[in-house]
Amino acid sequence: MRGFLGTPYYVAPEVVAGREYGEKVDIWSAGVILYIMLAGIPPFHGESVAEIFEAVLRGNLRFPARIFACRLVHLHQSRVVARGQFFFPMNQGGGGVARRDGGEPREDEDEDDEEENSDRGLEAWRTDYADERSWEVLQEDESGLLRPIDTKTLVHAQYRRRLLQRSTPAASRIQKGLIRYLYVVIDLSRAASETDYYPSRMVVVAKCVEAFIREFFDQNPLSHIGIVTVKDGVSQCLTELGGSPDSQIKALMGKLECSGDSSLQNALDLAHGYLTQIPSYGHREVLILYSALNTCDPGDIMETVNMCKKAKIRCSVVGLSAEIYICKYLCEETGGLYTVALDESHLKELLLEHAPPPPAIAEYAVANLIKMGFPQRGAEGAIAICSCHKEAKVGGGYTCPRCKARVCDLPMECQICGLTLISSPHLARSYHHLFPVAPFDELSHTLPFRLQQKLPQTCFGCRQSLISHGTKTSPHVCCPKCRQHFCLDCDIYIHESLHNCPGCESRRQQAT
């Protein structure tokens, strides 16, 4: 018993104050009686009333075991039991709640006490179990027994599923758009304050969007992203299209407030107005995180869906509650994806599926020549006016090769001449989407012992041992080209970050 009930400082007010309240039972005394009924011993014992009162004022919520034992009654015969408490004269004829001033309690005070007690119990429950969530780390095996989940293997299985979906023979022949203009629409209506996601949908969405933005720019260095929020039936452009993940995340974290209803039509109209102004070679996308179960629109939303379809805007929706027909219809008409998240981890997984470049629309699949500039970094001690922030800055920044304007980050579009400014590493990081690393083959750990002895004993990437539990090999993968073996961590690192097989690269160096 870990709240106010059952701790040493929890005493009846008449004991602390040094006087009795009369015939009516005090609610604190009832709590002490309940503790005695459950534990069989009184919750406190002190040398004097002043000692207990001083401990309460100091807020000593947790006493050391030795001090706590001294506060219990030493003699077994002297301990107070529940039966004696029920026949105590002060507890006869109760039913009301005594007040400190001796007057009658008011109804509003009773309601306040009930609300405080319910909130206190909820907070104690969250404090005890929210961080552990031990029931989620168990799974049922083939024999029906509960066993702890192997988190590492589970994460690798989810990663392998996403990798195989992206690397199918049909998907490998599809042209992908590397220059993307994406607006993330976040529903901050009243529904986003629901607590089915702990601590609320709004907090979970903000955390997942932060991870998505960083992953988006890591896989799409030539792309731009913007944020639109919807609440009180009005959509607001929180950030314009840009290439800086830090500025996008900072703006989002400062505007996390939920209120009113959601309007899907207003959000689509706002995103449509911004996306129709981008160049024709850019791929226009809208990703909606929708929490509400309805939409309050000022007009016909079907006309807005047709406008997005004609403008070649790919709309995708990730729902946090249940499937909605209008969201499904929107995704089907515009060629997007509609999914519904089950929990926080599933929501993050669904969001990260939108980070890789999607298939290009047939109209935009024609090769285009795009004029770009490769600016040089300015001197550290030079003072120049930044064209993107409209203020003077000392050192750093990049100089546009066409108009000599100063910008802060890359990639971005020059505010003066409109030239797209990038660096050579950005092009190199986009190259792997055209020629991705082939998925590695999983090796079964149920091979005969003789065959396992012929396999490599260490990972080719990190040189860690592939043997676990004596002579049994742990799960690992093998490159289909160079036939080198890698552990699960190196498999994820090669396909998600490195985008090159170390075994294949070493063979090329040896050949040259």
With CA atoms as reference, report the closest residue to 507 among 483, 489, 491, 487: 483
For residue 134, what are its two tokens?
């031990």
Determine the pLDDT at residue 331.
96
Instruction: Count CB atoms within 10 A of the CB of residue 460.
Output: 21
Instruction: Tell me, yes or no, whether 327 and 412 share the same domain.
Output: no
Confidence of residue 122 (pLDDT cuts 50, 70, 90): very low
Q: Are residues 195 and 325 in the same domain?
A: yes
pLDDT at 35: 59
pLDDT at 191: 94
Distance CA 425, CA 335 (A): 31
Structure tokens at 492: 């994820």
pLDDT in tens, 238-266: 999 988 898 899 999 988 899 999 999 99
Whether residues 275 and 386 share a domain: the answer is no
Looking at residue 430, its pLDDT comes to 75
Verify that 198 and 336 share a domain, yes or no. yes
Q: Where does the pLDDT of residue 165 fall: very low under 50, low under 70, confident under 90, or very high at 90 and above?
A: low
Q: What's the pLDDT band for 357 if we cut at 50, 70, 90?
A: confident
In this structure, is residue 488 part of a structural domain? Answer: yes
* 195 and 321 co-located in one domain: yes
Does residue 150 fall inside a structural domain? no
Task: Report the alpha-carbon distance of residue 512 to residue 388 in Å, rounded.
Answer: 47
Q: How confident is the model at residue 204 (pLDDT cuts 50, 70, 90)?
A: very high
Is residue 77 over pLDDT 60?
Answer: no
Alpha-carbon distances of 269 from 60, 181, 252, 260, 393, rounded to whole Å: 58, 16, 20, 19, 37
**Averaged pLDDT, 30-36:** 61
Give domain status of residue 2, yes or no. Answer: no
Q: With contact defined as beta carbons under 8 Å apart, do 397 and 386 qualify? A: yes
Q: Which of 67, 98, 129 is the last residue of a domain?
A: 129
One domain, residues 101 and 39: yes
What was the pLDDT predicted at 236? 94
Dist CA 285 CA 271 (whole Å): 9
Q: What percentage of the chain has pLDDT greater than the value 90?
A: 30
36 backbone dihedrals φ, ψ, rounded to 5°: -65, -40
Whether residue 160 is contained in a domain is answered as no
> Residue 393's beta-bridge partner residues?
384
At 362-388, the pLDDT tens digits run 665 566 778 889 998 877 777 788 887
Does 199 score more than 60 pLDDT? yes
87: which 2 tokens? 């026949």
Domain harbouring 452, CATH code: 3.30.40.10
| One domain for residues 190 and 315 | yes
3 state SS of 289: strand
Token pair recorded at residue 9: 């400082």
- Total domains in the fold of the chain: 4
Same domain, 105 and 24: yes
Taking each helix axis from N to C end, the angle separating 201-219 and 344-352, rounded to the nearest 10 degrees, works out to: 30
Q: Give the pair of three-digit tokens for residue 243.
A: 């290439």
Place of tokens 């005890």: 128
How many alpha carbons lie under 13 Å from residue 223 in its C-beta half-sphere? 28
Question: Are 410 and 426 within 8 A, CB to CB?
Answer: yes
Query: What is the rounded average pLDDT of the residues 382-401?
Result: 81
- Are 266 and 396 part of one and the same domain? no
Separation of alpha carbons 377 and 409, rounded Å:
10
CATH code, domain carrying 321: 3.40.50.410
- Give the range of the structural domain holding residue 118, as residue numbers without chain letter: 13-129
Q: Are 466 and 474 in contact (CB under 8 A)?
A: yes
Separation CA 283–CA 305 (nearest Å): 17
Report residue 358: phi and psi, to 5°. Answer: -80, 170
Per-residue pLDDT at 57 exceeds 60:
no
Cα R_g (the chain), whole angstroms? 32
